[in-house]
């Protein structure tokens, strides 16, 4: 879809520090980036450590010679044997034996030998029944540490790290706070935290030393946001088997320009595009939003002419690699595990694609995508447009096939659960239709028919993103909301979100959460039926 929105605004509220325990006013719903804790434990004081039966340990770390392999043709360590360096000990593991380490009673004590130096702080504590007047049962504990100069934080033996992450477990910045969350804690629960301290700036080799400026534990009691950012129009009793009576539409993040193309990653986070801002973002269940890939669709000198130069549709292939529709670059690419970018398709018949919009993989690896010109500065009238049609394409075994030119603005597309049919909808205010095609193994489409027609629905909104659940119901972004249409073509109801979604993604571990990329905000609703997610290999 083609539009413009207001400028990006993401707010991060840094919570203040307090004494061993400090009370806070009653909190609104909160996550890692906003809201007030009900209590703060100062882990740098004996009083604070007693509250959680905590103990700090410390050990210097050192650089040692190590063996490795050079980068091979696959950009992985598969080449010839080489010598390199490593840091020991590897003390992040939850079961690491630190019994021989010294107790770190004073966190402000200067440690290490300056210059290029490293050290490990390890903290073990027990979740008490209460902290002050605050019950800890079901609470979220947020551990925040400020190391002079950089930190990496391991929580119970894990250091989660994803592309584009800033902070959390990985280095946040020079003397910046690192924050990690432990959700739904239980009294008596044992927690181990390992903080790897790094002297910096690393390229300067300063004469100062390692020390902890601040270490706190925030207690956030469970809070339920009872607001619903939209409603469900129920037109047929069958909708009640899909959308529970108490379903709420949650707002997860706000302040973007125009959201598109979400996809749930099996490692437990959501990726989504903002084509206006030229970024791919990552949202985590802890409420953190970070830039996953900047300049996600275009870097040209004439970028000011574009409304939507960035990436649009996103999906995952069977190996979990992110596949990206790049508007400004007019191509489909795949982000490899090495960080390299592989161009999958950018031309057909020697002519450049328009601006690939949405995409979906079949279980055999065939990639279907739509190619309207909405990403070009002047859309259909753009002088750079080379193809005389807006096509649906299929890429299989390295060959790109044009499989349909039936629609003016082919947009969203999705397979039926058994992959016998491909649904494609049309962004055309004069013809708001969903087409259904029979699909052959060689990619070709046949027996195209209008599966559902909502042209009579008022408004200037046409059809955008589309998803299918495991029962074959379609979820189509159309006039007024997301239309839920049965496999038999009956309109069961409409999910009306506060802002009109451009596209959707099935997420969470059970696949029953439907995430909405809707204009300037990200939303979610929990359903009673699971969706059809990208066909990943077993174990992903």
Query: By the 8 A CB rule, do 352 and 328 touch?
Result: no
Residues 6+ apart with CB under 8 A from 321: 334, 335, 336, 337
Q: Number of helices and strands (H, E) in the chain?
A: 1, 40
Q: What is the CA radius of gyration of the chain?
A: 26
Measured between alpha carbons, how far is 179 from 141 in angstroms, rounded to an integer?
10
pLDDT at res. 225? 74
Distances in whole angstroms, Cα of residue 191 to Cα of each of 21, 132, 271: 19, 19, 30
Residue 289, beta-bridge partner list: 283
Query: By the 8 A CB rule, do 172 and 180 touch?
Result: no
Q: Does 454 sit behind a cis peptide bond, omega within 30 degrees of 0 on the bond before it? A: no
Residue 328, beta-bridge partner list: none
pLDDT at res. 20? 38
Measured between alpha carbons, how far is 526 from 515 in angstroms, rounded to an integer?
9
Measured between alpha carbons, how far is 194 from 394 in angstroms, rounded to an integer?
48
Measured between alpha carbons, how far is 296 from 292 in angstroms, rounded to an integer?
9
- Residue 28 — φ and ψ, nearest 5°? -80, 170
Q: Tell me which CATH code domain 21-220 carries.
A: 2.60.120.260
pLDDT at res. 139? 94
Question: Which CATH code, of 2.120.10.30, 3.40.50.410, 3.40.50.1370, 1.20.1250.20, is assigned to 230-526?
Answer: 2.120.10.30
> From the CB of residue 448, how many other CB atoms can be counted at a distance below 10 Å?
16
> From the CB of residue 456, how many other CB atoms can be counted at a distance below 10 Å?
7
- Sequence ranges of the domains in the chain: 21-220, 230-526
Output b/e per residue, 213-228; b: 16+ Cβ within 10 A. ebbbbbbbbebeeeeb
Written in H, E and C, the secondary structure of 35-98 is CCCCEEEECCCHHHHHHCCCEEEEEEEEEEEEEEECCCCCCCCCCCEEEEEEEECCCCCCCCCC
- Residue 13 — φ and ψ, nearest 5°? -100, 120
Strands 322-326 and 81-88: unpaired
> From the CB of residue 362, how many other CB atoms can be counted at a distance below 10 Å?
17
The helix/strand/coil state of 312 is strand
Measured between alpha carbons, how far is 82 from 102 in angstroms, rounded to an integer?
35
Q: Give the helix/strand (H/E) hosting 109.
A: none
pTM: 0.87
Exposure of 146 in the CB half-sphere (CA atoms within 13 A) = 14
pLDDT at res. 373? 98
3-state DSSP helix/strand/coil % of the chain, to nearest 5: 5, 45, 55
Measured between alpha carbons, how far is 219 from 416 in angstroms, rounded to an integer?
45
Which residues, given as ranges, of the chain have pLDDT below 50?
1-33, 539-540
pLDDT at res. 31? 44
Query: By the 8 A CB rule, do 449 and 433 touch?
Result: no
Measured between alpha carbons, how far is 535 from 532 in angstroms, rounded to an integer?
8
**Which residue from 299, 322, 323, 294 is spatially nearest to 309, judged by alpha carbons?**
299
pLDDT at res. 29? 30
pLDDT at res. 158? 95
Q: What average pLDDT does the structure give for the chain?
A: 92
Spacing of C-alpha 49 from chain mean position: 35
Measured between alpha carbons, how far is 487 from 474 in angstroms, rounded to an integer?
7
- What is the tens place of the pLDDT at every residue in 43-81? 999 999 999 999 999 999 999 999 999 999 999 999 999
pLDDT at res. 14? 25
Measured between alpha carbons, how far is 44 from 106 in angstroms, rounded to an integer?
7
């Amino acid at each position: 879809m083609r539009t413009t929105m207001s400028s990006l605004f993401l707010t991060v509220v840094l919570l203040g520090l307090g004494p061993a325990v400090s009370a806070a006013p009653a909190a609104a719903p909160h996550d890692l980036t906003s809201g007030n804790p009900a209590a703060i434990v100062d882990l740098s004081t004996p009083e604070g450590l007693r509250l959680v039966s905590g103990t700090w340990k410390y050990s210097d770390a050192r650089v040692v010679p190590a063996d490795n392999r050079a980068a091979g043709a696959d950009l992985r360590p598969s080449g010839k044997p080489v010598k390199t360096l490593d840091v020991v000990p590897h003390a992040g593991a939850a079961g690491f034996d630190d019994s021989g380490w010294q107790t770190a009673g004073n966190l402000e004590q200067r440690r290490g030998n300056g210059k290029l130096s490293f050290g490990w702080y390890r903290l073990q504590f027990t979740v008490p029944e209460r902290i002050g007047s605050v019950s800890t049962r079901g609470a979220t504990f947020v551990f925040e540490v400020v190391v002079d100069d950089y930190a990496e934080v391991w929580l119970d033996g894990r250091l989660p790290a994803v592309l584009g992450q800033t902070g959390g477990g990985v280095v946040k910045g020079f003397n910046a706070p690192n924050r990690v969350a432990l959700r739904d804690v239980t009294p008596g629960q044992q927690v181990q935290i390992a903080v790897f301290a790094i002297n910096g700036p690393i390229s300067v080799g300063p004469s100062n030393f390692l020390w902890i400026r601040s270490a706190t534990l925030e207690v956030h009691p469970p809070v339920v946001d009872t607001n619903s950012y939209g409603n469900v129009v129920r037109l047929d009793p069958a909708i009640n088997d899909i959308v529970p009576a108490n379903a709420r539409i949650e707002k997860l993040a706000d302040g973007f320009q125009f959201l598109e193309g979400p996809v749930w990653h099996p490692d437990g986070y959501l990726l989504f595009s903002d084509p206006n801002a030229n970024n791919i973002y990552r949202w985590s269940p802890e409420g953190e939003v970070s830039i996953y890939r900047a300049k996600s669709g275009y870097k040209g000198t004439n970028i000011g002419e574009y409304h939507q130069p960035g990436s649009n549709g996103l999906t995952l292939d069977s190996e979990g690699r992110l596949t990206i529709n790049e508007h400004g670059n007019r191509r489909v690419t795949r982000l490899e595990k090495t960080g390299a970018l592989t161009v999958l398709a950018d031309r057909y018949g020697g002519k450049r694609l328009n601006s690939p919009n949405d995409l979906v993989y079949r279980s055999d690896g065939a990639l279907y995508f739509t190619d309207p010109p909405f990403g070009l500065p002047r859309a259909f009238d753009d002088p750079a447009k080379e193809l005389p049609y807006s096509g649906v394409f299929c890429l299989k075994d390295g060959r790109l096939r044009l499989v349909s030119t039936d629609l003016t603005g082919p947009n969203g597309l999705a397979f039926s659960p058994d992959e016998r049919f491909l649904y494609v909808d049309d962004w055309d205010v004069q013809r708001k239709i969903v087409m259904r095609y029979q699909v052959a193994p060689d990619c070709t489409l046949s027996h195209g028919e209008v599966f559902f027609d909502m042209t009579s629905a008022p408004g200037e909104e046409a059809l955008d993103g589309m998803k299918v659940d495991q029962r074959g119901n379609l979820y189509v972004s159309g006039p007024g909301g997301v239309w839920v249409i049965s496999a038999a073509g009956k309109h069961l109801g409409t999910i009306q979100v506060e802002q009109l979604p451009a596209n959707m993604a099935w997420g969470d571990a059970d696949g029953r959460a439907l995430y909405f990329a809707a204009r300037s905000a990200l939303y979610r609703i929990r359903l009673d039926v699971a969706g059809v997610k990208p066909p990943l290999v077993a174990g992903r």
